[in-house]
Amino acid sequence: MPAIIMELAPLEKEKKARLVREVTESTSRATGLPPEAIFVFIKENSLENIGVGGTLLADRR
């Protein structure tokens, strides 16, 4: 049972649903496992808790 963990900035529910569906489908094809065996966990982080290139994403907006 693969567990896929993604840490992201907050997303709308529809985008998360699409991401989970597409990651599950891709992983199922690559591994030959049924989609029911694949777990996808989304951890959302506020923009104040994500830094890129030495700058917080909250400060880039």
pLDDT tens digits along 2-41: 999 999 999 999 999 999 999 999 999 999 999 999 999 9
Query: Residue 38's pLDDT is what?
Result: 98
Query: Residue 6's pLDDT is what?
Result: 97
Find the domain containing 8 and state its range: 3-60
Question: Which stretch of DSSP H or E encloses residue 26?
Answer: helix 13-31
Query: Residue 61's pLDDT is what?
Result: 74
Query: Residue 14's pLDDT is what?
Result: 98
Query: Residue 4's pLDDT is what?
Result: 98
Q: What is the CA radius of gyration of the chain?
A: 14
Binned at pLDDT 50, 70 and 90, residue 50 comes out as very high
Query: What token pair was written down for 38?
Result: 């694949």
- Number of structural domains (the chain) is 1
Q: In CATH, what number is assigned to the domain containing residue 35?
A: 3.30.429.10
How far from 17 is each of 10, 24, 54, CA to CA, in Å? 13, 11, 31
